[in-house]
Every structure is written in structure tokens, then in C-alpha cells.
Amino acid sequence: MPDTVRVRFAPSPTGEPHVGNIRTALFNWLFARHHGGSFIVRVEDTDQERKVEGALKSILASLKWMGMDWDEGPEGDTDGSRGPHGPYFQSQRLHMYKEAADVLLAKGDAYICFCTPERLDQMRKAQTDAKRPPGYDRHCLLELTAEERQSRVDAGEEHVIRFRIPWELPEVVVHDVIRGDVTWEPKLLDDFVMMKSDGFPTYHLANIVDDHAMEITHVMRAEEWLPSTPRHVLLYQAFGWTPPVFAHMPMILGDDRAKLSKRHGATSALEYKANGYLPEALTNFMALLGWSLDDHTEIFSQEDLIKHFTLEHVGKAGAIFDAEKLTWMNGLYIRALSIPDLASRLQPFLERPQAEGGLPDDVARPLDSDFLLQLTPLVQERIKTLADVTGVLGLFFEDIADYDSAMLIQKGATADNTISALKGVLKQFESAKTWDGAELEAMVKPLVDELEMKPGQVFGAIRVAVTGRAVSPPLFETIQALGRERALSGLRSAVAALTAAT
């Protein structure tokens, strides 16, 4: 590899950080880190119409959340000054595009066009009707003299600048690392607009000018950009610049194989964060969307990814975003976390407002972190996302839920022996010297034999009595965490309820 790899992630601040874009960022970032190169963030904000307030902030936050740091790019949301090739906001580099356009104008590789949208529509319609491929007919290049064009510009007439595609060339080929050589006929490409009438460049121009100025060595972007690449190659040729290496990565699709979009579910990286996914898991999962190392390894730390990521292993076909597999992987990562680490990640999810999935609002915040530390082992292997925690641990913070006393009677048990069991357990627990799960369990065991019941019948009854639920973490650890008072009162009300019912 060349000594200094320089790659860039070039988001438009027009919306949420789409996982497709974040995956592109990840591949670029991994490539840079693998080769010891630079990762540059450049903000492509020339489309003022589509600019969305706060979008850039979310995009940068996503990168940071997933541990992708950049060597050059924005310092904050508006300060594009980190690095020697700035500014890194395209809206602050307009003069460079203007100068570049003037160079091509002077060389005759570009020309000024005054055609109105109405005329263009008419032209296209005629072409379509004649079953010919639509494309600009070079009206302003062929029908107008240079002097005419200049005088109309001087008169202040609205105009755009078009790139003159070298139709005389037999072919233009794009060398793509992933797909090999892809060839186009220049005749089939039309003279695209590179400068709009408002003085803003189009994507094509700005992109090439910046990639060249920023000394980008590898352009890695989604496959949807492949069709515009021949135009870019032609631009590089017109400027006399060496193009970067291109690599078009497979797209991320929804379950209907169409480009992943909002109607397929969560598409923003920050949504996954809010839904309780770990950045480690998302990173690992996304890396595997279009890339793989071998036939058996699939769990990769960020460090592993950096070590192994190469373009040779990037696939060609689009990949469906399988949220189920992501969820499985997230569970795996949760189980691998240390208890203190997990506890601190869980805390904000429990402390969210109730309406957003947190504990009931009458539970005091912040939560006691020692208590949470004690509860964490009980959830660790029972949740797949951090957001699942409320469902599992809620019972430790709420009053016992109302339940039908019939729930106390387990399969194969009777009201009578269940009452006896509960009374026996209550008596034992009341006499307990210490409140330790293992000791409490040892007290219950003989009772089970004595009553000739199955362990599950007794345990199940106790579970419902102390939690109000049929499902909970392991019983005696739960009872220990619940505390003596809560356990005893649960047992008492259970006995009372059952007795009253019979």
C-alpha cells in the first residue's frame, strides 16, 4: 500500500445518520486505521435547500459513539478547521469551485448554458417520444458563439456551467478495486451541470475538486455512486489530475431487497443507541455487512477489525440488514461485559422517563448504584438490548403487581398444599438469621420433601407470592435482592389471598 493512505467520509447534513452511511464511514475508517493513514470528514453542505438543522451534530455524534475518530474535519458543528486542508465544509470553499470551473471554461472543457427548465423539458420530451436516450443537446454550445454567450453573461442573464463530455473518446473506464474495470461509452453520458445558476457547485464538481485538494488516495463509497464515477474520471482528466483509487461498496438493503429506508424500521445509528444497542455490537455487525474475514470468525473487537480489514474481502452483492442477527450479537456483547460496566450502561435506561421505557416515574432518581450493581448479574443473560432491562428489573423497584391468586397454584399442586407450603416457607423465612439466597434455599428444600411436592411447585408459588409474576430471575437470588420485608409481606398476602379464595 502507498505510504500515506488518505480517505474521507463525506456526509451531507440532510438527515439522520443512516446506517448505510455509517457503514461507509466505518469501512473508510477501518481502512485508514489498518494502513496507518488519515481519516477525513468533509461536510458536503452545498445543497442549502435540503440542509437540516442538527443533522451534522447527529452524524458526528454517531461517529464518536462508535469510536470513529477523525484526523481532519470539523472541530464542532460549524468550525471546519481541524487539519491543514480546510475548511472542511464545502459551503466555505465556494471560491475553489468557481476557480476550477473557470479553468475548464478557459480550456473549452466546459461551457455556459442559458437553457430554461421549460426548454429542457421540451427537449427531453421530444427525445423520449423519438425513443432516444435523453440528454442535453448542446444547444448553447453549438448555436451560440463565445461572444454571444459572454455578452449574455455580462448582461446578467441566469446561466449554469456544463461540463463538455469528450464524446470523441471511444470509452471511459473506471478501475474499481472491488468490481474490476467498468466501461462506459462517453457518447451515452450527457453534458452535466457542474455549476448551478446560484453559483453553487453540483456534487460532481465539488467532490472532485475537494478530493484532489485534500489529497484523497482512495474513494470508498456506496455502490449507488458507481454510475456517476465515469463523469468524475472525465473531470480528473480534464483537470489533468490523477484520480484516486475507487472502491464501490455493496449497499445495505431492507428485507424486500430495496435500499434500506425508514419504512424498513430503524435506520439511524442513534436510534440503535436509544434502543439499547452497544456500539461494539453495531460496529461488529455492520462490518460483516459486505465484509468477512473467513469461514468461521464473526466476533471482532474494533482492534481485530482494524487488524484484519482489507478491501480484498469486501463483497459485491447488496446485503439485507438483518436486525435479528444484530440483536443476537448485542446479547452476546452484553453477556461479555463486566458487571460494573454493564451496570453503568444500564443505569440511564432504567432512569429514563417511564413514558420512554424507564422505571415508573415515582421511583427516585438517580438509582442507588450499589443496589444496581447487585441486580446486574440477574439481568445479564436475560436481555438482548439495554432497553430490555426495565422489564426484567422493574419488579425490584415496584410494589408487587396485582395478580390472580390462582397463579400461585402451580401445575399439579392444590390450593391446600400450596397454602401449607407458603405458610411453611413464611415460618422459615421469619426465623432466618441472615438474609442470604443460598441459606434461604436450604431452608425450603426439606419443606418440599415433607409436603411431597415438586420443587417447581413450591418455588413457583413463592415466585408469584414475592414478585407477582410467573417469570423472574432465579428465585433465591431474587428474594435476597428484594429484601426480607418485601419477601415476608408478599408471602403473607399470598397466604391470605389463597385462604380467602377457598
Partner RNA sequence: GGCGCAUUCGUCUAGCGGCCAAGGACAUCGCCCUCUCAAGGCGGAGAUCACGGGUUCGAAUCCCGUAUGCGCCA
Q: Which residues are catalytic?
A: 262
Task: Work out whether 399 is an interface residue with RNA (CB under 7 A).
Answer: no
With contacts defined by CB under 7 A, how many residues of the chain interact with RNA? Answer: 65
Q: 172-176 and 319-320 as β-strands: parallel, antiparallel, unpaired?
A: unpaired
Which segment (6-14, 28-36, 51-59, 314-322) binds RNA by CB under 7 A? 314-322
Q: Select from 37, 244, 331, 358 the one that contacts RNA (CB under 7 A).
A: 331
Residue 253: in which H helix or E strand, if any? Answer: strand 252-253
288 near RNA, rule: CB under 7 A:
yes
Contact residues for 495 (Cβ-Cβ < 8 A; gap 6+): 419, 422, 423, 426
- 404 lies in the binding site for RNA (CB under 7 A): no
Report if residue 369 touches RNA, rule: CB under 7 A: no
Based on the shown chain and the rule CB under 7 A, indicate whether residue 194 belongs to the binding site for RNA.
no
Smallest distance from RNA to CB 272, Å: 16
Stretch near RNA under the rule CB under 7 A, chosen from 77-85, 94-102, 153-161, 381-389: 381-389
Phi then psi dihedrals of residue 7, to 5 deg = -125, 160
Determine if 382 is a binding residue for RNA (CB under 7 A): yes
Compute the least distance from the CB of residue 425 to RNA, in Å.
Answer: 13
CA separation for the pair 195, 226 (Å, rounded): 21
Per-position x/- string for 206-245, each x denoting binding to RNA as judged by CB under 7 A, each - no binding: -----------------xx-xxx-----------------
Of 14-22, 58-66, 330-338, 394-402, the window that binds RNA (rule: CB under 7 A) is 330-338
Q: What is the spatial distance between Cα 31 and Cα 208, in angstroms, rounded to a whole number? A: 21
To the nearest whole angstrom, how small is the minimum distance from the Cβ of residue 188 to RNA? 5
Does 366 sit behind a cis peptide bond, omega within 30 degrees of 0 on the bond before it? yes
Angle at 120 between CA 200 and CA 210, to 5 degrees: 25
Rounded CA-CA distance 232/207 in Å is 9
Q: Which residue has the cell 437470588?
A: 477
Q: Hey, is 368 helix, strand or coil?
A: coil
Q: Does 50 engage in binding with RNA (CB under 7 A)?
A: no
Identify the residue among 161, 289, 350, 413 touching RNA (CB under 7 A): 289
On whether the CB atoms of residues 166 and 186 are closer than 8 A, the answer is: yes
Q: Which of 50, 335, 365, 427 binds RNA (CB under 7 A)?
A: 335
Please state the three-class secondary structure of 151-205 as a single string. Answer: HHHHCCCCCEEEECCCCCCCCEEEEECCCEEEEECHHHCCCCEEECCCCCECHHH
> Among 34, 57, 179, 264, which residue sits at the site for RNA (rule: CB under 7 A)?
179
The partner residues of 232 in beta bridges, in order of sequence, read none
Which position among 117, 133, 170, 240 is part of the footprint of RNA (CB under 7 A)?
133
Asked if 262 is part of the footprint of RNA (rule: CB under 7 A), the reply reads no
308 contacts RNA (rule: CB under 7 A): no
In the complex, least distance from residue 130 CB atom to RNA, rounded to whole angstroms:
10
- Quickly tell me which residue has 401445575 as its cell: 411
Distance between CA 168 and CA 190 in Å, rounded? 13
Q: Does 250 bind RNA (CB under 7 A)?
A: yes
- Beta bridge partners, 259, equal 253
Q: Which residues bind RNA (CB under 7 A)?
A: 124, 128, 131, 133-134, 179-180, 182-185, 188, 190, 223-224, 226-228, 250-251, 253, 256-259, 288-290, 292, 294-296, 298, 312-313, 315-320, 322, 324-325, 328, 331-332, 335, 381-382, 384, 441, 455-456, 459-460, 463, 470-477
